[in-house]
Amino acid sequence: MKLFRKSRRDLSKAREILADSGYQGLMKLYPQAKTPIKSSRYHPLTKGDKSYNRDLSSRRIKVENIFAKFKVFNIFSTTYRNRKKRFGLRMNLIAGIINFERL
């Protein structure tokens, strides 16, 4: 969430934002954001909360699987230590490889 705030992305025109529990404060900034509902010792999840979390995670799993495919390449699973200028090019090349595999 700290990096997201630092990036100053404007997502106000987005129709829907699906995020994981690391972005709990995102709903305060953007009302269209959806994050899982957390439970605590004194406030356990209801059946409706559990079904909401299950629905949200089933919609997000596609994105998480793509992230996992990116992390196979060591450039994304560790700290990037090369020139910033070439990061976009490398990102596009790896995205092309992943898209080619899906066909």
**Separation between Cα atoms, residue 14 and residue 32, nearest integer Å:** 8
Write down the pLDDT at residue 56: 92
Write down the pLDDT at residue 57: 92
CB 30 within 8 A of CB 14: yes
Segments in the chain below pLDDT 70: 103
Write down the pLDDT at residue 18: 87
What is each CA distance from 48 to 22, 39, 41, 44, in whole angstroms? Answer: 21, 13, 18, 11
**Separation between Cα atoms, residue 37 and residue 53, nearest integer Å:** 7
For the chain, the straight-line distance linking the first and the last C-alpha, in angstroms and rounded, comes to 34
Write down the pLDDT at residue 103: 66
